[in-house]
């Protein structure tokens, strides 16, 4: 009997630690057949030009990529020609859904690419920001990084005709929050959501959106050095949020200034830096929205979370989609377990089984997050 239990234990351990080989083969490409092709997915932070995921040519004009030692799980990916505006599309230029790969054994699959985004004329996007949204500054100085940045501000409908003071939510990737015209992969619709929710609930809030730094985004949103993306600048960015931008917002607008009314949120790498900013400045930020965080890109965040202490009440909204990185749910649970040990912390963890790593699903979750935040 002991031998049977030992054998079962070995089988379980083997299954948990199993690594598989995945072979992706592109058999035909509609256009630009000679260009390099890359794989971008939730396993490499959707990097469109990751040299480790570049397909190699072989017989018959086909190209392939072999990924070794891949853990079991659900993976999402697309093919790219090395830039964010060169992802694959349908034959008529429409965006395609993420390709999904279920890995629980060695896999070999073949694909055809019907078109590329840059093969089609860009249709001008509509300006969709509501009248409550304005650009506060197109080049707001970030002295900690010696850079400038566009800043968006959403003001509640009654702001101009009242003397009320309001809580403030600071959000990363500002170009994706309010306006389809500036959002590369679709907007969150924060303004439309709040126009509706604030009318129903009477819970009003100012939202400040900070544009990401484009090519500097992965460094600015990472507090730690990364072997692929370079030196982390997140500490300086968090200092900018807490010690430069917030004091300016508090002088320019009618705000409730304490941490119980000051919040921070973001998605992916923006979620990582939002959590870090809250842990670094608990006397400034009292709650955070952590959507699909890229903890795998910065494992030291767990060390900082273990050390994090504050006498103030801190609230954390942790969200992940079931169709994102195969490790994301476990990463989220690990962070939740660490934070749950702290006194005076309030944790809400949400897993959306069908959620993918994009603005469509973050937009769907935002209303629930806002109502939790205001309550």
Tens digit of each residue's pLDDT, the chain (375 residues): 444 444 444 444 444 468 999 999 999 999 999 999 999 998 898 999 999 999 999 887 899 999 999 899 889 999 999 998 899 999 888 889 899 989 999 999 999 999 999 988 777 889 999 999 999 999 999 999 999 999 999 999 999 999 999 999 999 999 999 999 999 889 999 999 999 998 899 999 999 999 999 999 999 999 999 998 899 999 999 999 999 999 999 999 999 999 999 999 999 999 999 999 999 999 999 999 999 999 999 999 999 999 998 888 899 999 999 999 889 999 999 999 999 998 889 999 999 999 999 999 999 999 999 999 998
CB 321 within 8 A of CB 327: no
Which part of the chain has CATH 3.40.50.1820? 133-374
Q: How far is residue 221 from each of residues 150, 234, 300, measured CA to CA in Å?
A: 16, 5, 14
Q: Regarding the domain delimited by 133-374, which CATH topology (the fold level of the hierarchy) does it fall under?
A: Rossmann fold (3.40.50)
Q: CA neighbours within 13 Å on the CB side: how many for 64? A: 16
What pLDDT sits at residue 2? 44
Taking the C-alpha atoms of residue 149 and residue 257, their distance in angstroms, rounded to an integer, is 23
What pLDDT sits at residue 124? 81
What pLDDT sits at residue 310? 87
Instruction: Indicate the pTM of the whole model.
Output: 0.75
Which part of the chain has CATH 2.60.40.10? 17-119
Treating both helix axes as pointing N-terminal to C-terminal, what angle do 269-280 and 300-307 enclose, rounded to 10 degrees? 30
Geometric angle at alpha carbon 331, from 72 and 350, rounded to 5°: 105
What pLDDT sits at residue 287? 98
H or E element in which residue 112 lies: strand 107-113
345-352 and 314-321 beta bridge pairing: parallel
For residue 88, give both structure tokens.
């694959």
In three-state secondary structure terms, 339 is helix
Please provide the size of the chain in residues. Answer: 375
What pLDDT sits at residue 180? 94
Instruction: Indicate the burial class of 284 (C-beta count within 10 angstroms; 0-12, 13-18, 19 or more).
Output: buried
CB 44 within 8 A of CB 34: no
Q: How far is residue 311 from each of residues 153, 220, 306, 318, 372, measured CA to CA in Å?
A: 30, 28, 15, 21, 22
Handedness of CA 213, 216, 220, 221 (dihedral sign): positive
Query: Which of 3.40.50.2300, 3.40.50.800, 2.60.40.10, 3.60.10.10 is the CATH number of 17-119?
Result: 2.60.40.10
What pLDDT sits at residue 311? 83
62-71 and 147-154 beta bridge pairing: unpaired
What pLDDT sits at residue 17? 64
In 86-176 the beta strands, taken as DSSP E runs, fall at 88-89, 99-103, 107-113, 115-116, 133-142, 147-154, 168-171
- 149 strand-pairing partners: 140
């Amino acid at each position: 009997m002991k031998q049977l239990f030992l054998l079962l234990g070995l089988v379980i351990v083997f299954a948990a630690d199993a690594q598989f080989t995945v072979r992706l083969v592109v058999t035909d490409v509609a256009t630009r057949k000679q260009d390099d092709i890359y794989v971008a997915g939730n396993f490499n932070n959707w990097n469109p030009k990751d040299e480790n995921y570049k397909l190699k040519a072989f017989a018959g004009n086909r190209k392939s990529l072999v990924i070794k030692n891949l853990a079991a799980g659900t993976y999402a990916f697309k093919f790219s020609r090395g830039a964010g505006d060169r992802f694959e599309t349908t034959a008529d230029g429409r965006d395609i859904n993420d390709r999904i790969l279920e890995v629980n054994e060695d896999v070999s699959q073949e694909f055809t690419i019907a078109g590329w985004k840059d093969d089609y004329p860009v249709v001008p996007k509509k300006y969709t920001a509501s009248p409550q949204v304005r650009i506060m500054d197109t080049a707001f100085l970030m002295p900690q990084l010696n850079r400038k940045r566009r800043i968006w501000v959403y003001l509640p409908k009654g702001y101009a005709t009242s003397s009320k003071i309001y809580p403030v939510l600071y959000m990363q990737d500002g170009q994706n929050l309010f306006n389809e015209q500036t959002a590369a992969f679709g907007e969150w619709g924060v303004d439309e959501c709040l126009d509706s929710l604030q009318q129903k609930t009477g819970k009003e809030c100012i939202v400040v959106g900070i544009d990401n730094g484009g090519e500097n985004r992965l460094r600015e949103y990472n507090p730690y050095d990364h072997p692929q993306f370079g030196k982390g600048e997140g500490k300086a960015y968090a200092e900018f949020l807490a010690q430069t931008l917030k004091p300016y917002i508090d002088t320019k607008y009618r705000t409730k200034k304490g941490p119980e009314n000051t919040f921070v949120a973001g998605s992916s790498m923006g979620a990582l830096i939002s959590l870090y900013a809250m842990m670094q400045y608990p006397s400034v930020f009292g709650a955070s929205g952590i959507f699909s965080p890229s903890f795998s890109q910065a494992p030291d965040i767990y060390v900082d979370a273990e050390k994090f202490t504050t006498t103030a009440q801190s609230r954390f909204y942790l969200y992940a989609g079931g169709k994102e990185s195969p490790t994301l749910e476990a990463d989220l649970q690990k962070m939740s377990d660490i934070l749950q040990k702290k006194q005076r912390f309030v944790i809400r963890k949400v897993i959306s089984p069908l959620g993918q790593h994009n603005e469509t699903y973050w937009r769907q979750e935002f209303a629930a997050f806002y109502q939790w935040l205001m309550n």
